[in-house]
């Protein structure tokens, strides 16, 4: 009898090939290559300033690489304007700085997540069904009772949840979250993480999250990518991101067991 066959490898949702991104005249990411597997949660970790948000910017096409490519399965390389448009349509981003409009009520910021579903100059009020969808997204992050509150009057964690709702309301195929739980307490972060895990299990969603809570990265993600010095220093299953891997990324000068 033959050996049982391995399941076929899950397809890549995103392929990053020798990506170099410059900011302020410096190479922040240098020839970074990685793949993001379809239908999984990938956590990106690394020290402050290493280029995690820069990588997210390249994945959602807001930052153009100076070298290399980002390709989305079934769409193509983001160098191409048509592919970029289509990739953006299928992608939602939770931004590190929330990127909300303070003077608008919370629900209107969530509705802005759907802005590309209607004419950009439309002066018509949002339809009842879209308003219901936005209210449901706010409910999912526990903020329905603040739907009509001016966003600028919300706390940091509440604003963060509005940003999450604005991303989820799009029902994206690719969800990018840049430290999406940084301003919420750990119990709420866990609950929101479980919600994302459930959405992934339902199918059709791939998630990449920058996380600074390493414990959360280990428990929530399928895979961890660690950045150090502009390069991928770790890329493997979340379960193999052990203390040595962590030290290699957050304290590379200690690598090799140097004694005092
Ligand atoms: N708009 C900009 N102009 C010039 N340099 C920038 C700009 N934005 C970021 N940088 C630089 O790029 C580098 C990477 O920044 P990035 O925001 O990607 O880091 P990060 O890993 O997300 O950090 P953090 O954990 O603090 O959010 C930093 O050195 C930063 O100073
Ligand atoms: Mg960042």
106 and 73 both lie in a single domain: no
The Cα 221–Cα 180 span in angstroms is: 14
Ion ligand 2: residues, CB < 5 A: 52-53, 96
Nearest CA to ligand 1 atom 6: 23
Rounded CA separation 255/193 (Å): 31
Q: For ligand 1, atom 31, which residue shows the shortest CA distance?
A: 49
| Residue 48 CA, closest ligand 1 atom number | 25
Measured distance CA(5)–CA(144) in Å, rounded? 49
Calculate how far, in angstroms, residue 224's C-alpha sits from the geometric centre of ligand 1: 20
CB 205 within 8 A of CB 26: no
The residue out of 171, 198, 232 marking a domain boundary is: 171
> Residues 227, 184: one domain?
yes
| Rounded Cα distance, 7 and 208, in Å | 23
What's the helix, strand, coil split of the chain in %, to 5? Answer: 40, 25, 35
HEC letters along 176-245: EEECCCCCCCHHHHHHHHHHHHHHHHHCCCEEEEECCCHHHHHHHCCEEEEEECCEEEEEEEHHHCCHHH
Phi-psi sector, 74: left (phi>0), alpha (psi -120 to 50), beta: left
* Distant-in-sequence contacts of 184-187, Cβ < 8 A, 24+ apart: 184/157, 184/160, 185/157, 186/213
Which of 20, 22, 24, 210 best tests ligand 1's pocket when mutated (most atoms within 8 Å of CB)? 24
Q: Is residue 5 part of a domain?
A: no
Q: Which residue has the tokens 């190479």?
A: 27
Atom of ligand 1 nearest to the CA of 96: 27
- From the CA of 54, how far away is ligand 2's center (Å)? 7
Residues enclosing ligand 1, CB less than 6 A? 23-24, 28, 46, 48-54, 96
- Structure confidence at residue 260 (pLDDT): 36
Domain that holds residue 201: 10-90+172-260
Where does residue 106 rank: exposed (0-12), middle (13-18), buried (19+ CB within 10 A)? Answer: buried
pLDDT value of residue 124: 81
Which pTM value belongs to this model? 0.91
Walking along the chain (260 residues) 10 residues at a time, the average pLDDT comes out as: 63 93 96 96 97 97 96 95 94 92 96 86 85 96 96 94 95 95 91 92 94 95 96 96 94 54
Q: Residues 177, 151: one domain?
A: no
Is 159 within the bounds of a domain? yes
Query: What distance in angstroms lies between residue 28's CA and the mean position of ligand 1's atoms?
Result: 8
Contact call for residues 224 and 42 (beta carbons, < 8 A): yes
Give residues with Cβ within 8 angstroms of 168, minimum separation 6: 92, 113, 137, 140, 141, 175, 199
Of 148, 171, 194, the residue that ends a domain is 171
Q: Is residue 2 part of a domain?
A: no
Q: Which residue minimizes the CA distance to atom 29 of ligand 1?
A: 49
| CATH number of the structural domain spanning residue 223 | 3.40.50.300
| CA 191 to centroid of chain Cα atoms | 17
Whether residue 167 is found in the same domain as residue 196: no
Which phi and psi (to 5°) does residue 102 adopt? -60, -35
Neighbours of 178 (CB within 10 A): 24
How many other C-beta atoms lie within 10 A of the C-beta of residue 172?
A: 20
Task: Looking at the CA of 58, name the nearest ligand.
Answer: 1
The Å distance, Cα 92 to ligand 1 centre, comes to 21
Cα 148 to ligand 2 centre (Å): 29
Pocket test for ligand 1, best of 25, 51, 55 (most atoms within 8 A of CB): 51
Q: Which residue has the tokens 């608008």?
A: 104
Contact 54, 21 (CB under 8 A): yes
pLDDT of residue 97: 87
What is the total count of domains within the chain? 2
């Amino acid at each position: 009898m033959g050996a049982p066959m391995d399941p076929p490898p899950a397809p890549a949702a995103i392929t990053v090939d020798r990506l170099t991104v410059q900011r302020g005249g410096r190479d922040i990411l240098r020839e970074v290559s990685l793949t993001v597997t379809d239908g999984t949660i990938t956590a990106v970790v690394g020290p402050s300033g290493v280029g995690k948000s820069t990588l997210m910017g390249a994945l959602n096409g807001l930052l153009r690489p100076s070298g290399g490519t980002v390709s989305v399965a079934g769409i193509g390389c983001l160098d191409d304007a048509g592919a970029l448009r289509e990739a953006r349509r299928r992608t939602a981003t939770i931004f590190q700085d929330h990127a909300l409009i303070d003077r608008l009520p919370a629900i209107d910021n969530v509705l802005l997540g759907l802005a590309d579903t209607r004419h950009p100059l439309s002066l018509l009020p949002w339809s009842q069904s879209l308003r219901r969808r936005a209210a449901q997204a706010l409910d999912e992050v526990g903020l329905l009772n603040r739907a009509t509150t001016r966003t600028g009057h919300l706390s940091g964690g509440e604003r963060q949840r509005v940003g999450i709702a604005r991303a989820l309301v799009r029902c994206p195929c690719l969800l990018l979250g840049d430290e999406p739980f940084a301003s919420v307490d750990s119990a709420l972060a866990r609950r929101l993480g479980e919600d994302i895990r459930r959405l992934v299990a339902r199918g059709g969603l791939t998630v990449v999250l920058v996380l600074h809570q390493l414990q959360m990265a280990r428990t929530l993600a399928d895979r961890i990518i660690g950045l150090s010095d502009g390069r991928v220093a770790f890329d493997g299953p979340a379960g193999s991101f052990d203390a040595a891997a962590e030290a290699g990324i957050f304290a590379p000068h200690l690598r090799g067991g140097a004694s005092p």
